[in-house]
Amino acid sequence: MTQQPENLTLGIDIGGTKLATGVIDATGRLHSYLVIPTPPSDAHGLFDIILDLARRAIAESGAQPTAAGVGCGGPMEYPAGNVSPLHIPVWQGFPLRSRLQETLGLPVIVDNDAKAFALGEALFGAGQGAKCLLGMVVSTGVGGGIVAGGRLWHGATGNAGHIGHIVVASEGEQCDCGAIGCLTCFASGTGMAERARHALVRGVESRLAARPPAGITARVILEAANGGDILAQQLWREASQSLAIAIAGAASLLDLDRVVIGGGLIQAGDFLFGPLRHAWSKYARLSFTRDLQIVPAALGQGSGVIGAAALALTEFGPDRRDDLHK
């Protein structure tokens, strides 16, 4: 008879473009993994789809998890788990945690998806061994999470880690949060595309002008930059410099020893990390910041699910059994 692994946890990764579920063990190994595009639906219909996906992942793993963790975009009420994701407008104050606990019969924790990513990389990926880690997701937006001593740092309201809203410039486009000059405006895929469109409206010459405005994306800007386009190269330099400024500020404040960057924009490889590390050397002037490591994420496609499951593993693991009432 095959012995079942202990401390299995269910991970649920909820995004505006995809939904993913899976079951991991205490080593971070995936025992099942399912992913589908996020379908158009009403609030309760979407929940039913996620619930079905979760149950299928449990069945495919061949064992019953002891708890579930959910990574979801915000805003949300933490730790209550009532979510109002900007990318899922049908959920407004949706009681995700309580609904999942009722239907799955498991203790559930719901947290920000970028915080879940940071925890997963800290425990099982490129952040292993770090004493104080900043995990960053640089994609459609810019999010982050802080892990110190193997535990997420939540802050006063559960919102610690919003590095995308650190102000890195005194001028620029207005962020969705209402501030001017946020990192998200410079380093996210949507921010880079918006800056490109504004430059073209001002008459800046670029091969990007041949594209319809909606067709300008970070990937398109990268292709143009690799082809020698001046505007595209400038946008990538500004993204790298803005990341360096934000990371330097975070490192000085938090005494970080590692930053792990994931998300779609890391596909740019050395085009992003080379200028980022060069710019970093300009801003990291305090002695304790100079040895900080800036590395790409290691967990790949399943990172969202692994991070979400890691939330449950750390919250409801053997050393936290007395906290199940939270």
Per-residue pLDDT tens over the stretch 45-88: 999 999 999 999 999 999 999 999 999 988 899 999 999 988 89
Mean pLDDT of 90-118: 97
Residues 6+ apart with CB under 8 A from 242: 168, 169, 183, 186, 187
User: Which class is domain 129-298?
Assistant: alpha beta
Confidence (pLDDT) at 104: 97
Bridge partners (DSSP) of residue 19 are: 14, 36
Q: Label residue 5 by pLDDT band (50, 70, 90).
A: low
Confidence of residue 99 (pLDDT cuts 50, 70, 90): very high
pLDDT in tens, 147-202: 999 899 999 988 899 999 999 998 888 888 889 999 999 999 999 999 999 999 99
Residue 317 in this model has a pLDDT that exceeds 80:
no
pLDDT of 27 above 50? yes
Nearest residue to 116 via CA among 146, 91, 148: 146
pLDDT band at 13 (very low <50, low <70, confident <90, very high): very high
What residues does each domain of the chain span? 9-118+301-323, 129-298
Q: Output the six-digit token pair for 184.
A: 């998200």
Which residues make Cβ contacts (< 8 Å) with residue 171, sequence separation at least 6?
Answer: 180, 181
- Which residues are within 8 A (CB) of 84 and not within 5 positions of it... i.e. 6 or more apart? 74, 75, 76, 91, 92, 93, 94
Q: Are strands 67-72 and 30-37 parallel, antiparallel or unpaired?
A: unpaired
Answer whether residue 326 shows pLDDT above 60.
no
Domain 9-118+301-323 in CATH 3.30.420.40? The answer is yes
Q: Are 82 and 94 in contact (CB under 8 A)?
A: yes
Q: Do domains 9-118+301-323 and 129-298 have the same CATH topology?
A: yes
